[in-house]
Chains A and B, each alone.
Chain A
Amino acid sequence: MNALLFSAVSGVIMMFSGFMLKSNAAIRTLAHILLLVVITVNILELRGITFFNIDTKGLLVFDRFALLFTLVASICTLAFFLLSSKDMERVGSNYPDYFALLFFVLCGVVISASFKSLLMLFLGIEVLSIPLYILTGSDKRNLKSNEASLKYFLMGSFSTGLMLMGIAFVYGATGTFKTGIPLGFEPGQVPVLMTAGMMLLLFSMSFKVSASPFHFWTPDVYDGAPTVFTSFMATVVKAAGFIAFMRLFNDLFGSIQFQWKLLVAIIAAATLFIGNLTAVFQQSVKRMLAYSSISQAGFMVLAVYALNDDAREGLILYTAAYSLATIGIFGLLTKMNDYTFDGFNGFAKQQPVLAVTMVIFLLSLAGIPLTAGFLSKFYMLRATINGGSIWLAVFAVLMAAISVYYYFRLIQAMYFKDGTGNAGMQLSTSFKYTMVVLAAVTILLGIFPNLLINWLYF
């Protein structure tokens, strides 16, 4: 509740800050301060201190899972601000508005992480998506950005339509919007309306998290959007989509798993397969990351498939590990002129420290031990095997082995090839420090995952 209200208010403040503050530096500082406040109040709420006592009539529930994810999301946003907020200046002239929209996205993240009613799910997903449509098209003079925005908007509204239809069907079958109440359907006696509603919700959520076969918008949109915002879309927003996905299927459809288990397994396998295989053939690092985000989504779908304690813990860890690493890589990518793999040739010679942090991020994404990425994949595998499907786990690790190919291509380009593609890049010291801190956190979580996971319980 704290984070929700503070980020909404912060969004409004940022909208009007353009009138008061004339320099971009001041606006940026204000945004950082507001975000720090959001993080602080959220930590306070995790520790049991709430500032507002608003009766949500059971529409929203701020349990530890929701709060912890809000914390992860807002800290990732902070990392994103620290690395990339300066690059937003280059996108267009409405600098304060971008921050305002990002804060509104954060509101949507909080709502979709803590909904207890289908109405709130819908609201959360919409609050999350609409600012993104704008941000995608914020590079107004760039045709690709416009195209991406339109594509995203059209496809997004279509999937929102599906979601509404699904919610209506579920309401028809159960007579309530509430989630988390026992349904009491026996196998073979689930009403058709319920099944149809479940399928529609499954498809629309798969669309939001870009799970296959609903992923076709992802590469174009991620590629077309200004790189700074791609970074945010591919990490925090996608992670929030997964939290909502998992919450929905845990609370509402948890008791009719026999209806959707196989379907979700197929979606997970297809997402892993398509994401990894297509990523192998990309020449642009930005597009590679778009497909890598699909393949990582495949792993996160496993959490929805398994739906046990491991899956819950693992999903939190996964979102954190994946977001930190991806934000780091995107943060560097926005500074580069050349997005191809060849652009990274010889990077290790020019920027040895940053190259090491990049290696850590890539190793984490590939799932190499001692990084957070490994443990999060490990949790997912454990959850899947515990959930009864060892073959899905075997398939997932084989796909993870394929992912090594494209992540290591970047390492090879940086370390073992010569080139001066991006020489003369201007990087501030604070940028480097932030990257080092992100890499350190990635390793720390890879050795002591309980630093994060314990917050779920204590």
Chain B
Amino acid sequence: MIVLLLFLVPLVGGLLLFFIKNDTAVRWWSLLVSLIVLFLSIASNVFLKSTDQLNFSAPWMGSLGSSFSLKLDGLSQVLTLLTAVSYPIILLATWKTAYRKSNNFFALMLLTQAGLMGVFTATDALLFYFFWELALIPVYFLCSGWGHERRIPVTFKFFVYTFTASVVMLVGILYLYFQTPDRSFSMQSFYALKLPATVQSWLFWILFIAFAVKMPVFPFHTWQPDTYEQSPTAATMVLSGIMVKMGLFGLIRWVWPIFPGAFHAWGDVTMSMGLIGVIYASLIAIQQDDLKRLIAYSSIAHMGIMVMATFSESAIGMQGVFIQMFNHGINIIGLWIVVELIERQFGTRKLSELGGLAQKAPALATLLVIVALGNVALPLTNGFIGEFLMFNGIWSSNTANAHRIIFTVGALISIILSAVYTLNMIKKIFFGNTNTITEQAHDAYLNEKVVLGILAVIIVVLGVYPQPLLNLGNSFVEVLMKEVNVANLIVK
């Protein structure tokens, strides 16, 4: 039941927002809704853990073999938690940003949240596809309605990219549906399928590309830096913090257990794609002068490592991905908040035009450094645990046995590169001398300090004591590995 509420509360709350006109009321209402969702999500993790609460199923479009079934397992729990935690943070951080027609803006934000919650909990392939699009449409309107000057063509490119990939995915889903003996879209029937190797191969690619566009994996990433740059920052936070995880989630939930054979067989190709993306995006990030583009490329690099770890097919790598999905969301939202602050104050995002902020805004500087260190994966920050586990996974991978040294070394180099661009960014923003633009700078406002403070606490606490997240992941990874191994044995 609670899983249904996770989806319904933002949906209804968002729809109601279209009818509220007062700007302050709109903001408080959306904050209230997102806090309720956060409460529900925590409740589902802590004390409402009976299967009754975590599962929901109702008949829907019976003649199509589809049902409205949602479920919270370890994987969905960590991602719904991420969504639920991020929203109040995003709303608070952009509290002072003015939007025209703010009711529509926040309504679309909440509708996106509803879509995301649906994507992460659906256990019916058709329902999953519905939510996948439901999350996409509001983001399209958010970015083209409230973005920067080149927003229309850029957002459109993003939309066409993802839409094309997702309709092709729909054909894949339909094909799978016809293979199930009982003609159903349910996850269990899909998992029980035993497809011949060639069929697995091309279905794998159909679905993989749909998810790869979303993550994005090289060479499907070209929409991403432009979209992040041109979108309103609140939407960028949703896109980069949560939505990119949709792709990874799809890979883990809807690709791996269904096509374990192809997943294994193509593992070295996809890992190479991930590795190329990691190195390439890191090198470009070093060159960037625009803050938003820098963080966008850094996000591609981080996603690349997660893809590599997923395809390593090892339990420990999977644990790493699991933790990193959450942590990467937290860290990157922190970085975007700083970008938002800087852009609103100085009207520029160019690193070359900033400098010396540490003297003017010490609190902001301290908090950003913590977030940035998390992004670099320094020990005792949350980034470290995830990355460490992932490298471990890539090293002990059985997919890329022959090349695992290359993959691991490549992934490790990315850490160095990420330190280069992140620390360079900090240096250029905060140190050096103030110039005419940064002369009049003031420190972060209270709401921003609070938000960044919360993020910093999460980053440090999860860096020192990641056990709760590990526990959440443990049982899920166990089940997943069992599922995949059994399937693998049958195929072989």
Q: Mark A363-387, 1 if CB is under 8 A from B, else 0.
A: 1000111100000001001100110
- B188 interface hit (Cβ, 8 Å): no
- A405 interface hit (Cβ, 8 Å): yes
Contact A378 B156 (CB under 8 A): no
Q: Mark B170-182, 1 if CB is under 8 A from A, else 0.
A: 1100110110000
Complexed CA–CA distance, A311 and B171 (Å)? 16
Q: Mark B112-149, 1 if CB is under 8 A from A, else 0.
A: 00000000000000000110011001000100110000
Contact B144 A449 (CB under 8 A): no
Distance in Å: Cβ of B170 to nearest Cβ of chain A = 6
- Please pick, from A369, A394, A404, A449, the residue contacting B159 in the complex, using a CB distance under 8 A: A404
Distance in Å: Cβ of A150 to nearest Cβ of chain B = 40
The answer to whether A398 and B133 touch (CB under 8 A), given A381-B170, A393-B174, A408-B159, is no
Contacts of A363 in B (CB 8 A): 137
Complexed CA–CA distance, A312 and B145 (Å)? 40
Complexed CA–CA distance, A385 and B206 (Å)? 15
Known: A394-B171, A398-B167, A417-B152. 17 other contacts (CB 8 A): A369-B134, A370-B130, A370-B133, A370-B134, A394-B168, A397-B170, A397-B171, A401-B160, A401-B163, A401-B167, A405-B156, A412-B152, A412-B156, A416-B144, A416-B151, A450-B62, A450-B63
Contact A400 B134 (CB under 8 A): no
Complexed CA–CA distance, A416 and B145 (Å)? 6
- A390 interface hit (Cβ, 8 Å): yes
Complexed CA–CA distance, A295 and B220 (Å)? 28
Query: Looking across the interface, which residue of chain A has its beta carbon closest to that of B177?
Result: A382
Could you say which of B64, B141, B168, B171 has the most chain A C-beta atoms within 10 Å of its C-beta? B171
Distance in Å: Cβ of A410 to nearest Cβ of chain B = 12
Contacts of A382 in B (CB 8 A): 174, 177
- A453 interface hit (Cβ, 8 Å): yes
- Please pick, from B129, B156, B167, B175, the residue contacting A400 in the complex, using a CB distance under 8 A: B167
Contacts of A450 in B (CB 8 A): 61-63
Contact B144 A412 (CB under 8 A): yes
- B164 interface hit (Cβ, 8 Å): yes
Contacts of A393 in B (CB 8 A): 171, 174
The answer to whether A369 and B171 touch (CB under 8 A), given A404-B159, A405-B160, A450-B61, is no
Contact B178 A385 (CB under 8 A): yes
Q: What would 20 A/B residue contacts be, using CB atoms closer than 8 Å?
A: A313-B63, A368-B133, A368-B137, A369-B133, A370-B134, A378-B64, A382-B177, A393-B171, A393-B174, A397-B167, A398-B167, A398-B168, A401-B164, A401-B167, A404-B160, A405-B156, A408-B159, A416-B151, A449-B64, A450-B61
Complexed CA–CA distance, A453 and B62 (Å)? 12
Complexed CA–CA distance, A313 and B64 (Å)? 11
Contacts of A412 in B (CB 8 A): 144, 152, 156
Distance in Å: Cβ of A384 to nearest Cβ of chain B = 9
- A415 interface hit (Cβ, 8 Å): yes
Distance in Å: Cβ of B417 to nearest Cβ of chain A = 35
Q: Mark B58-90, 1 if CB is under 8 A from A, else 0.
A: 000111100000000000000000000000000
Query: Looking across the interface, which residue of chain B has its beta carbon closest to that of A348?
Result: B145
Q: Please report the total number of B residues contacting A with Cβ < 8 Å.
A: 27
Complexed CA–CA distance, A324 and B164 (Å)? 25
The answer to whether A369 and B144 touch (CB under 8 A), given A385-B171, A401-B163, is no
Contacts of B130 in A (CB 8 A): 369-370
Contacts of B152 in A (CB 8 A): 412, 416-417
Contacts of A408 in B (CB 8 A): 156, 159
Distance in Å: Cβ of B128 to nearest Cβ of chain A = 11
Q: Mark B244-276, 1 if CB is under 8 A from A, else 0.
A: 000000000000000000000000000000000
Contacts of B156 in A (CB 8 A): 405, 408, 412
- Please pick, from A381, A390, A400, A415, the residue contacting B141 in the complex, using a CB distance under 8 A: A415
A interface residue numbers (CB < 8 A to B):
313, 363, 367-370, 378, 381-382, 385-386, 390, 393-394, 397-398, 400-401, 404-405, 408, 412, 415-417, 448-450, 453
Query: Looking across the interface, which residue of chain A has its beta carbon closest to that of B170?
Result: A397
Contact B62 A381 (CB under 8 A): no
B interface residue numbers (CB < 8 A to A):
61-64, 129-130, 133-134, 137, 141, 144-145, 151-152, 156, 159-160, 163-164, 167-168, 170-171, 174-175, 177-178
Complexed CA–CA distance, A47 and B133 (Å)? 38
Complexed CA–CA distance, A278 and B216 (Å)? 31
Could you say which of B129, B160, B167, B177 has the most chain A C-beta atoms within 10 Å of its C-beta? B167
Complexed CA–CA distance, A417 and B156 (Å)? 14
Complexed CA–CA distance, A101 and B245 (Å)? 57
- Please pick, from B61, B145, B168, the residue contacting A415 in the complex, using a CB distance under 8 A: B145
Distance in Å: Cβ of B177 to nearest Cβ of chain A = 8
Could you say which of A313, A378, A449 has the most chain B C-beta atoms within 10 Å of its C-beta? A378
Complexed CA–CA distance, A417 and B151 (Å)? 11
Complexed CA–CA distance, A32 and B163 (Å)? 41
Complexed CA–CA distance, A408 and B164 (Å)? 14
Complexed CA–CA distance, A313 and B141 (Å)? 33
Contacts of A404 in B (CB 8 A): 159-160, 163
Q: Which A-B residue pairs are the 5 nearest by beta carbons?
A: A401-B164, A397-B167, A369-B133, A369-B130, A393-B171
Query: Looking across the interface, which residue of chain A has its beta carbon closest to that of B129?
Result: A369
Contacts of B133 in A (CB 8 A): 368-370
Contacts of B170 in A (CB 8 A): 378, 381, 397
Contacts of B63 in A (CB 8 A): 313, 450, 453
Distance in Å: Cβ of B175 to nearest Cβ of chain A = 6
Contacts of A449 in B (CB 8 A): 61, 64
Complexed CA–CA distance, A424 and B170 (Å)? 43
Complexed CA–CA distance, A393 and B206 (Å)? 13
Complexed CA–CA distance, A405 and B144 (Å)? 14
Complexed CA–CA distance, A386 and B64 (Å)? 13
Distance in Å: Cβ of A387 to nearest Cβ of chain B = 11
Could you say which of A363, A369, A398, A450 has the most chain B C-beta atoms within 10 Å of its C-beta? A369
Contacts of A370 in B (CB 8 A): 130, 133-134
Contacts of B177 in A (CB 8 A): 382
Contacts of A385 in B (CB 8 A): 171, 174-175, 178
Complexed CA–CA distance, A390 and B178 (Å)? 11
Complexed CA–CA distance, A381 and B160 (Å)? 20
Distance in Å: Cβ of B20 to nearest Cβ of chain A = 15
Distance in Å: Cβ of B116 to nearest Cβ of chain A = 15
Could you say which of A382, A448, A449 has the most chain B C-beta atoms within 10 Å of its C-beta? A382
Contacts of B62 in A (CB 8 A): 450
Distance in Å: Cβ of B474 to nearest Cβ of chain A = 35
Distance in Å: Cβ of B359 to nearest Cβ of chain A = 41
Contact A415 B144 (CB under 8 A): yes
Distance in Å: Cβ of A223 to nearest Cβ of chain B = 26
Distance in Å: Cβ of B425 to nearest Cβ of chain A = 32
Contact B175 A390 (CB under 8 A): yes
Contacts of B164 in A (CB 8 A): 398, 401
Contacts of B178 in A (CB 8 A): 385-386
Query: Looking across the interface, which residue of chain B has its beta carbon closest to that of A408?
Result: B156
The answer to whether A390 and B171 touch (CB under 8 A), given A368-B137, A415-B144, A453-B63, is yes
Complexed CA–CA distance, A415 and B134 (Å)? 19
Contacts of A381 in B (CB 8 A): 170-171, 174
Contacts of A398 in B (CB 8 A): 164, 167-168
Query: Looking across the interface, which residue of chain B has its beta carbon closest to that of A394?
Result: B171
Complexed CA–CA distance, A398 and B177 (Å)? 20
Complexed CA–CA distance, A408 and B167 (Å)? 16
Complexed CA–CA distance, A370 and B135 (Å)? 12
The answer to whether A397 and B168 touch (CB under 8 A), given A369-B129, A450-B61, is yes
Distance in Å: Cβ of B6 to nearest Cβ of chain A = 19
Complexed CA–CA distance, A363 and B168 (Å)? 18
Contacts of A386 in B (CB 8 A): 178
Complexed CA–CA distance, A387 and B184 (Å)? 18
Distance in Å: Cβ of A422 to nearest Cβ of chain B = 20
Query: Looking across the interface, which residue of chain B has its beta carbon closest to that of A399?
Result: B167
Query: Looking across the interface, which residue of chain B has its beta carbon closest to that of A381?
Result: B174
